Copies of this chain bind each other. A is one copy, B any other.
Amino acid sequence: MANNIAEQIKLLRRGTVEIYTEAELVEKLAEAAKTGRQLRIKLGLDPTSPDIHLGHTVVLRKMRQFQDLGHKAVLIIGDYTARIGDPTGQSTTRPMLEPAQIEENAKTYFQQAGKILDTSENKLEIRHNSEWLADLRLADIIKLAGNMTVARMLERDTFEIRYKKGEPIGTHEFLYPLMQGYDSVMVKSDVELGGTDQTFNNLVGRDLQRVNGQKPQVVITTPILVGLDGKEKMSKSKGNYIGVTDEPNNMFGKVMSISDEMMENYFTLLTDVPSEKIAELVNSNKTHPKEAKVLLGKTIVSQFYGQQSAQAAAVEFDKVFAQGQLPEEIPEVEISAEPIAASKLLVHCKLVSSGSDAKRMIKQSAASIDNEKLNDPNAVIIPKNGMIVRVGKRNFARLKVNP
């Protein structure tokens, strides 16, 4: 294979879990290089959760690499399926959405994904699956379903586990992978990208394309990004995420909060820093972890806000945490001059989610007033103008006493 293709493969392989198959990818890239044909890189997006975080950007960054190599992103909005939702109402991941809501979500999604993707016209194609799914008749669906056996469906990890546990699987759930696979047939995708949780569905696309006389798409899976806690999948509901719309200071601070062990993974999946350089950065004999993490934070923030904002966020972070100074902007909270229990004050300032949360933070010595640690949740505080209430490392409030 040409040297150029070898380089492309090296780039595209980075941070992936699996490529089905790399030989086919090489062939497609070589053919594209020879004929000048753009490859069509499919990615399905979930119109039920428009707000994206860094976990979503892993696959979007992979897409951007393909775009930068000259290929076309084909994004599929699953509007048809979102309109149906889950008819049994058992799946919380498949709520039923109104068409207007779907379009609104798609708009939000593209605003955010546009920070990663190349949105120029010849690099991006956006399709709605209702285009072809709305036309299907029972006869078509029977033919489609005839391409897949029940045993094969039950090999899918999530189905297998549920079936063995005796948890109900609706018969209709077998139709979703077929529909996603049919999407690939309809958009004639060359490559489909997706998280490892989509492996099964995307491989169905290969089968259906083959049956329909198309060259099967290459399926590339990217890992599920671990959240800030270092344990669970990054997700909004778990609160362990960095949103792509997070403010620079917040984004930087969140990156700084990850453990040293997670840095290599984040560098690999969320930045373009070359692998050799990453190896040096995460070797504490060569680079101080703090220094590496600052670079990681600046690199990530600069992707969304530019280098200047990234630099400013780093300075701000250093001022507040390393030098113990107050951050530049502290939210002001209005309050009456009445004496108030410490735990209630924390709740009033919205620095904690509940009274019991407040008590826990105080017990953990994680709350302070004007830099003095609180010990007793019932301590009576008399609010004063300009008083700084703090919980944890990064949450502040400045009191403004109403006369």
Q: Which of A133-147 contact B (CB under 8 A)?
A: 133-134, 136-139, 141-147
Q: Are B154 and A168 in contact, CB atoms less than 8 angstroms apart?
A: no
Question: Out of B133, B138, B147, which one reaches A136, CB within 8 Å?
Answer: B138
In the complex, whether A174 has a CB less than 8 A from a CB of chain B is: yes
The reply on A87 being an interface residue by CB < 8 A is yes
**Contact at B169–A151, with CB atoms within 8 Å?**
yes
Closest to A182 in B: B138
CB-nearest residue of chain B relative to A83?
A: B139
Beyond A136-B137, A148-B170, whether A175 also contacts B142 by CB under 8 A is: yes
Give Cα A188 to B163, complex, Å: 33
Q: How far is the CA of A147 from the CA of B146 in the complex (A)?
A: 20
CB-based nearest B residue for A169: B150
Distance of A67 from chain B, by nearest CB (Å): 31
- Please indicate the chain B residues that have their CB under 8 angstroms from the CB of A159 in the complex: 150
Question: Bound complex: CA of A4 vs CA of B169, how far in Å?
Answer: 46
Name the residue on B nearest A159 (C-beta).
B150
Interchain CA distance A179-B172 in the complex, whole Å: 13
Judge if A379 is at the interface, Cβ distance under 8 Å.
no
Q: Contacts A136-B138, A137-B137, A138-B80; is A171 near B150 (CB within 8 Å)? A: yes
> Chain B residue with minimal CB distance to A136?
B138
A244 to B178, CA, bound (A): 45
Known: A150-B169, A168-B149. A142 touches B87 (CB 8 A): yes
Chain B residues with CB below 8 A from A144, complex form? 172
CB pair B150–A170 under 8 Å, yes or no, is: yes
Please encode chain A, from 266 to 299, with 1 for each CB lying within 8 Å of some chain B CB and 0 for all others.
Answer: 0000000000000000000000000000000000
- 11 extra interface residue pairs, beta carbon distance < 8 Å, beyond A136-B137, A146-B172: A84-B139, A133-B138, A141-B172, A144-B172, A145-B174, A147-B171, A150-B168, A150-B171, A151-B166, A151-B168, A151-B169
In order of increasing CB-CB distance, the 4 nearest A-B pairs are A145-B172, A87-B146, A145-B171, A146-B172
